[in-house]
Amino acid sequence: MNFEDSPEEARYRTTVRHWIADNAPDMSGLGAEQRRNWHPGHKEIARRWQATKADAGYACISWPKDRGGAGGTAIEEAIFNQEEVRAGVQFTYFMTGLHMLLPALLEHNQDALALNRVPPAVRGDEIWCQLFSEPASGSDSAGIRCTAVRDGDDWVISGQKVWNSGAHVADYGMLLARTDPGLPKHKGLTVFWLDMKTPGLEVRPIRVMSGESELNEVFLEEVRIPDSQRVGEVNDGWKVVISTLMNERAALGSGTGLSWRDMIALAGQTPSWEGSVMEDPAFREWLADYYVNVEAIRLLSFRTLTSLSKGEAPGPASSAGKLLWSNKTQEMTDQALDIQDHFGLLDGADLAVLDGAFQHRFLWSPGLRLGGGTDEIMKNIIAERILGLPGDIRVDKNVPFREIPHGR
Partner 1 sequence: MNFDYSDEQKALKDQARRFLSDVSPLAVARKVLEAPSPGFDATLWTRIGEQGWCGAAIPEAYGGFEFGHVELCALAEELGRALAPVPFASSVYQFSEALLHAGSEAQKLNLLPGIASGERIGTLAFSEGPGVLSAGRISTRYSNGALTGTKLPVTDGGIAHHGIVLALGDAGPDLFLVDFSGNGVTRQAVSTIDPTRGAASITFQNTPAEPLGSAGKGSGSGLEQLRRIHDRTAILLAFEQVGGADRVLEMARDYALERYAFGRQIGSYQAIKHKLADIFVKNEVARANAYYGAWALASNAPELPVAAAAARVAASEAYWFACRENIQTHGGIGFTWEADCHLFYRRARHLGLVIGAQRDWKRRLADRLVRRVAQENAQRSEA
Contact set with a copy of itself (CB under 8 A): 280-282, 284-285, 393, 395
Part of the chain binding partner 1 (CB under 8 A), chosen from 63-71, 91-99, 174-182, 304-312: 304-312
| 303 close to 338: Cβ distance less than 8 angstroms | no
Nearest to a copy of itself of 125, 285 (CB atom): 285
Taking alpha carbons only, the member of 332, 323, 326, 358 closest to residue 344 is 358
Nearest to a copy of itself of 215, 287 (CB atom): 287
The long-range contacts involving 103-112, CB below 8 angstroms and separated by at least 24 positions, are 103/243, 103/244, 103/247, 104/174, 104/231, 104/240, 104/243, 104/244, 104/247, 105/174, 105/193, 105/231, 106/67, 107/243, 108/231, 108/232, 108/240, 108/243, 109/231, 109/232, 111/228
Among 85, 300, 355, 400, binds partner 1 (CB under 8 A): 300
Shortest distance, position 277 Cβ to a copy of itself, whole Å: 11
Shortest distance, position 294 Cβ to partner 1, whole Å: 10
List CB contacts of 271: < 8 A, sequence separation 6 or more. Answer: 277
Among 39, 303, 355, 400, binds partner 1 (CB under 8 A): 303
Q: Is 390 in the site for partner 1 (CB under 8 A)?
A: yes
Both ends of the chain: CA-CA distance in Å? 52
What would the x/- binding string for partner 1 be over residues 71 to 100, using CB under 8 A?
Answer: ----x-------------------------
**DSSP code of residue 384:** I
Q: What is the DSSP string of 76-133?
A: HHHHHHHHHHHHT----TTHIIIIIIHHHHHHH--SHHHHTTHHHHHTTSS-EEEE--
What would the x/- binding string for partner 1 be over residues 208 to 247, using CB under 8 A?
Answer: xx-x------------------------------------
- Residue 357 has φ and ψ, to the nearest 5°, of -60, -40
Shortest distance, position 392 Cβ to a copy of itself, whole Å: 9
Nearest to partner 1 of 6, 110 (CB atom): 6
Q: Is 312 in the site for partner 1 (CB under 8 A)?
A: no
Nearest to partner 1 of 228, 374 (CB atom): 374
Within 10 angstroms of residue 384's Cβ, the number of other Cβ atoms is 14
Q: Is 30 in the site for partner 1 (CB under 8 A)?
A: no
Q: Is 50 in the site for partner 1 (CB under 8 A)?
A: no
**Which partner, partner 1, a copy of itself, none, binds residue 405 by CB below 5 to 8 Å per kind?**
partner 1
List CB contacts of 134: < 8 A, sequence separation 6 or more. Answer: 143, 144, 145, 146, 159, 160, 161, 162
Among 51, 180, 379, 400, binds partner 1 (CB under 8 A): 379
Shortest distance, position 39 Cβ to partner 1, whole Å: 19
Task: Compute the CA torsion angle 136, 140, 144, 145 (nearest 10 deg).
Answer: -30
Residue-wise over 123-157: b if at least 16 C-beta within 10 A, else e? Answer: bbebbbbbbbbbeebeeebbbbbbbbeeeeebbbb
Q: Is 105 in the site for partner 1 (CB under 8 A)?
A: no
Nearest to a copy of itself of 3, 273 (CB atom): 273
**Which partner, partner 1, a copy of itself, none, binds residue 341 by CB below 5 to 8 Å per kind?**
partner 1
| 363 close to 209: Cβ distance less than 8 angstroms | yes
Within 10 angstroms of residue 103's Cβ, the number of other Cβ atoms is 18
Shortest distance, position 90 Cβ to partner 1, whole Å: 19
| 185 close to 396: Cβ distance less than 8 angstroms | yes
Shortest distance, position 287 Cβ to a copy of itself, whole Å: 11
**Which partner, partner 1, a copy of itself, none, binds residue 404 by CB below 5 to 8 Å per kind?**
partner 1
Shortest distance, position 390 Cβ to partner 1, whole Å: 4
Shortest distance, position 245 Cβ to partner 1, whole Å: 18
Q: Is 311 in the site for partner 1 (CB under 8 A)?
A: no
What would the x/- binding string for partner 1 be over residues 314 to 353, using CB under 8 A?
Answer: ---x--x--xx-----x---x--xxxxxxxxxxxx--xxx
Shortest distance, position 14 Cβ to partner 1, whole Å: 15
Nearest to partner 1 of 210, 228 (CB atom): 210
**Which partner, a copy of itself, partner 1, none, binds residue 195 by CB below 5 to 8 Å per kind?**
none
